Amino acid sequence: MSETPSKTSPLLVAVAWVIVSLPLGWGLYQSVMKSKPLFSGVTAPAAQPASAVVPGK
């Protein structure tokens, strides 16, 4: 008796990955946008020593 292997459609696999990647990508983009102030506005309360480097530079 031989059983014919039922191949999974590559399209189905691609669609499944797109369905999870879209919200994931959107969430990642939102987090990157949220973290932008970190790279543009780091300030210390007192005078900063020379060793304090501003991120993003």
Per rule CB under 8 A, is residue 2 in the interface with other proteins? no
Per rule CB under 8 A, is residue 12 in the interface with other proteins? yes
Per rule CB under 8 A, is residue 51 in the interface with other proteins? yes
What span, in angstroms and rounded, lies between the C-alpha atoms of 35 and 46? 23
Provide the binding-site residues for other proteins, judged by CB under 8 A: 3, 5-8, 10, 12-13, 16-17, 19-20, 23-24, 26-28, 30-32, 34-39, 41-46, 48-49, 51-55
